[in-house]
């Protein structure tokens, strides 16, 4: 009879393991379903926007205007630079 109770415990553990495996398989199936819906079965990538040629020209003109404005504002600041620093001769101040 001792062997039968041990066998019953083993059967109960195997049934519990089986239910765990079934739930894990359901999760795997759900993941495969989601991945299968993606285009081409590849990882998801956000679709790129198409910009018209006219819009690209406008963006380029606006960027060039920003660069020109920055260049003109920095040219006025270049005249007020600090004078170059020089080291003094320490020996000149000493009397020998």
To the nearest 10°, report the CA torsion of 46, 52, 57, 58. -80
Decide if 64 is inside a domain: no
Decide if 61 is inside a domain: no
Q: What string of pLDDT tens digits covers the 96 residues of the chain?
A: 567 788 888 999 999 999 999 999 999 999 988 887 776 655 566 788 899 999 999 999 999 999 999 888 776 555 567 778 888 777 766 555
Decide if 14 is inside a domain: yes
Decide if 86 is inside a domain: no
Domain count for the chain: 1
Half-sphere exposure of 31 (CA within 13 A, CB side): 7
Decide if 22 is inside a domain: yes
Domain that holds residue 18: 1-41
| CB 9 within 8 Å of CB 17 | no
Decide if 5 is inside a domain: yes
Q: Report the distance separating Cα 39 and Cα 49, nearest Å.
A: 17
């Amino acid at each position: 009879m001792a062997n039968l109770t041990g066998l019953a415990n083993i059967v109960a553990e195997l049934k519990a393991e089986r239910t765990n495996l079934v739930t894990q398989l359901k999760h795997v199936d759900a993941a495969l379903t989601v991945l299968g819906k993606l285009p081409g079965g590849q990882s998801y990538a956000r679709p790129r926007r198409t910009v018209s040629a006219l819009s690209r020209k406008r963006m380029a003109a606006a960027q060039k205007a920003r660069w020109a404005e920055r260049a003109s504002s920095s040219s006025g600041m270049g005249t007020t630079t600090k004078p170059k620093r020089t080291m003094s001769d320490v020996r000149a101040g000493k009397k020998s």
